[in-house]
């Protein structure tokens, strides 16, 4: 379970999809980095990722990690956003039979999991059919 500070410092990415775009070569790093993996430049500007894309691949998790025990089975996929950035996340509000590589999805802000009844609620992005 993440500590409050560990959760809090990822909020710009998980709530707002803040990324870092390399000022030299245009590579978009999500999460942001200090060094561009493509050109080694260290100069970035903050941008917001696209909020739509398509499924690159997916699976249905039947044996979940403990914090997700009450959610299984659930779909997780890699989605390529319209700006070319790929994210891993849950695909929800979609019947399993309708999952398909290439399917168009959009990004929504959702609850990811919670620490029991009295614990912290963790939020982030999920994908839903477009």
Partner 1 sequence: MREVAVIGVGMNKWGEHWEKSLRHIFTEAAILALDDAGVDKIDSLIVGCMSSGLFVGQEHLSSLLADYLGQVPVPAARVESACASGGLALRTGWIEVASGMSDVVLVGGVEKMTDVNGHEATYALGTAADQEYECYHGITFPGLYALIARAHMEKYGTTRQQLAMVAVKNHDNGSLNPLAQYPFKVSVEAVLNSVMVADPLRILDCSPITDGAAALILCPVETAKKLKKPVVKITASGMATDTIALSSRREITWIESTYQAAKRAYAMAGKKPEDIDVVEVHDCFTIAEICVMEALGLVEKGKGGKAVEDGLTSLHGKIPINTSGGLKAKGHPVGATGVAQAIEIVKQLREEAGPRQVKGARVGLTQNMGGSGGSSIVHIFERG
**Interface residue list for partner 1 (CB under 8 A):** 10, 13-14, 31, 37, 56-68, 71, 74, 76-78, 86-90, 101, 112-113, 122, 124, 126
The set of residues, in sequence order, having a beta carbon less than 8 Å from that of 44 and lying 6+ positions away, is: 20, 21, 22, 23, 29, 32, 33, 36
The gap from C-alpha 75 to its chain's centroid, in whole angstroms, comes to 13
SS3 annotation, 49-88:
CCCEEEEEEEEEECCCCHHHCCCCCEEEEEEEECCCCEEE
Burial (CB < 10 A; 0-12, 13-18, 19+), residue 80, is middle
Compare residues 10 and 115 and give the one whose CB is closer to partner 1. Answer: 10
């Amino acid at each position: 379970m993440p500590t409050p500070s560990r959760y809090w410092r990822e909020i710009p990415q998980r709530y707002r999809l803040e990324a870092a775009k390399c000022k030299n070569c245009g590579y978009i790093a999500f999460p942001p980095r200090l060094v561009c993996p493509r050109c080694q430049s260290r100069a970035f500007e903050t941008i917001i990722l696209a909020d739509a894309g398509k499924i690159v691949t997916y699976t249905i998790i039947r044996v979940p990690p403990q914090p997700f025990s009450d959610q299984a089975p659930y779909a997780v996929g890699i989605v390529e956003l319209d700006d070319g950035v790929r994210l891993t996340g849950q695909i929800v509000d979609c019947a399993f039979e309708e999952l398909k590589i290439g399917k168009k999805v959009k990004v929504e802000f959702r609850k990811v999991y919670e620490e029991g009844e009295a614990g912290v609620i963790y939020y982030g992005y999920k994908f839903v059919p477009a």
